[in-house]
Structure 1
Amino acid sequence: MDWQSESPELWAYLESLHRGDILSGTVVAIERFGVFVALDDGPGHPTLPGVGFLGIPELSWRRFDDPTEVVQVGQRVACEFLGSDTHNAEARLSLKALEPDPFQAFADRTMVGQDFRGTVAKVVPIGIFVDLEDGILGLVPFGEIDGRPAASPVEGFEAGDEIAVAVREVDLPTRRVFLSRPESGQYAGGVQPM
């Protein structure tokens, strides 16, 4: 569809926006691929529920399984304008751009070797994911679990267990935290009770 000729008001509105503008509106539809927002200052959209669109990665810094964990239909939101999608004639928005990044805050205040108490979030074939705080997950790889060889199965750990870990590396560009079991957290026979 040629949005410029079919909907000149919509096209003019999108052209008037600048990256970084803060736009407010109301959530009008939640789909598995994103969230539509009716923008306060924007025109209606001829085919979509709203002229504003929040892609799933732009909803929150925190992990979530369903967009309804972050927003609800009818909720008022303020978002940062990222750019115009000229194919769909919609304003691409970010909700998380207006929130502090918890990973950056974690990286800023965490030192290599620092001890944490965390909760096992998931046991996977390569190791254990531990929830440290604020949704920050770190991986304790096989070789770091109580001195087990790298090919050992992860036994004795279940989601929900509290364990002691030490930060081995915080990789800001890839947003990954690598952990080990602290020296004081190991003893022959497996996991030290907490």
Structure 2
Amino acid sequence: MSEPARDPRMQSLINQLWPGAVRTVKVTGFDGADVLVQLVGPEGEEPEIGRIPRHEASMRRMEHPSELFEVGQEIDAEEIGRWRDGQLHLSARACEIPALRSFLLSLEGGKVIAGTVSEVHNFGVFVHVDGEPDGLCTGFIRVPDLAWGWIDHPSDVVEAGQRITAEVIIAETRSGQVTLSLKALQEDPLTRFADQVGRVLTRPIIKIVPFGVFVQLAPNVVGFLHLSELTDEPVETPDQLVDEGEPITVRVDEVDLQRHRVRLGAAGGAGRI
């Protein structure tokens, strides 16, 4: 089951990362570390001028793009967009490995794929996606896309060598990577919690941060109580008032399904219980 409608801001970012059209261009020179190009078109037409920014030149390490390209060379590059001056910007790295590009273009958003966990880090999980070109690791799962519930570390959910099934969020030809989601294939627990607005609950605090506390409301459902709801007295941090693991009585003020968050208010007075 797919997750609810995505945050419009996130969807806007994803839309900017979808692959653009591929154009054949000729290298005409260098501007600092950028590659200057002109589009190869029909004879007699004035060729359009474009630019390949240094970070879009190649996936390989280099000191300067002149190590990889020479004036007069024709290459394929993906359109990125037009900058303020109207000049076309392109990405050569998006077309650098044809087999990789072909593989990524086959992975549409929403497609369910299988793979094997390669590495688990505190910032996310790398995955060998079935069918990817040999020698590459194309899959990545961000921490927020691992599970609906609260986790301390990605290793709470997966481990290296584990076979997984995930949903494609987006395949990026410019990064050579496909962003995946495990939780998109699971029911959003907030859909069954949405009718709890207005209820008063006593539940444990699972995390204290400088501006408030997170409260475990139900399995895989966590709500946030702002510091201002804890007390009217001036305090620097919530841990002056409460401890992790202790129960607190809260009121469910809002369940936001789109942003997947629960806003809590104080109930029965502020402060310790």
TM-score bucket of the superposed structures, by smaller chain? 0.7 to 0.9
Q: Helix, strand or coil: the match of 1:119?
A: strand
Q: Does 1:9 find its partner at 2:99?
A: yes
Structure label with greater radius of gyration: 2
CA distance in 1, matches of 2:144, 2:172: 16
- Counterpart contact for 2:190–2:255, Cα < 8 Å: no
Is the deviation greater in 161-170 or in 89-98?
Answer: 161-170
* Aligned residue number for residue 232 of structure 2: 149
Q: Does 1:66 find its partner at 2:156?
A: no
Q: Does 1:26 find its partner at 2:116?
A: yes
CA distance in 2, matches of 1:56, 1:141: 23
- TM-score (structure 1 length as normaliser): 0.75
Is the deviation greater in 153-162 or in 30-39?
Answer: 153-162
Q: Residues 56-95 of structure 1 correspond to what in structure 2 (within 5 A)?
A: 56-95=143-182
Q: Structure 1 residue 144: deviation in Å?
A: 4.3
Aligned-pair Cα RMSD in Å: 2.9
Q: Structure 1 residue 102: deviation in Å?
A: 2.1
Q: Helix, strand or coil: the match of 1:54?
A: strand
Distance 1:89 1:133, change over 3 A: same
Q: Does 1:129 find its partner at 2:219?
A: no
Q: Does 1:178 find its partner at 2:264?
A: yes
Where does structure 2 lack aligned partners over 5 or more consecutive residues?
1-57, 59-91
Q: Structure 1 residue 8: deviation in Å?
A: 2.4
Q: Does 1:115 find its partner at 2:205?
A: no
CA distance in 1, matches of 2:121, 2:132: 21
Q: Structure 1 residue 3: deviation in Å?
A: 5.7
Identity across aligned pairs (percent)? 34
CA distance in 1, matches of 2:123, 2:218: 27
Q: Structure 1 residue 4: deviation in Å?
A: 6.5
- Counterpart contact for 1:170–1:178, Cα < 8 Å: no
Q: Helix, strand or coil: the match of 2:116?
A: strand
* Aligned residue number for residue 164 of structure 1: 249
Is the deviation greater in 94-103 or in 116-125?
Answer: 116-125
Q: Helix, strand or coil: the match of 2:113?
A: strand
Counting matched residue pairs gives 180
- TM-score (structure 2 length as normaliser): 0.56
- Counterpart of 2:125 (choices 30, 35, 41) is 35
Distance 1:42 1:163, change over 3 A: same
Amino acid at match of 1:76: R
Q: Helix, strand or coil: the match of 1:100?
A: coil
- Counterpart contact for 1:82–1:94, Cα < 8 Å: yes
Where does structure 1 lack aligned partners over 5 or more consecutive residues?
none
- Counterpart contact for 1:103–1:136, Cα < 8 Å: yes
* Aligned residue number for residue 140 of structure 2: 53
Q: Helix, strand or coil: the match of 2:193?
A: helix
Residues 30-88 of structure 1 show CA distances to partners (whole Å, capped at 9, x for unaligned) of 234322212223332x4x4x222222232222222321111101111111112222123
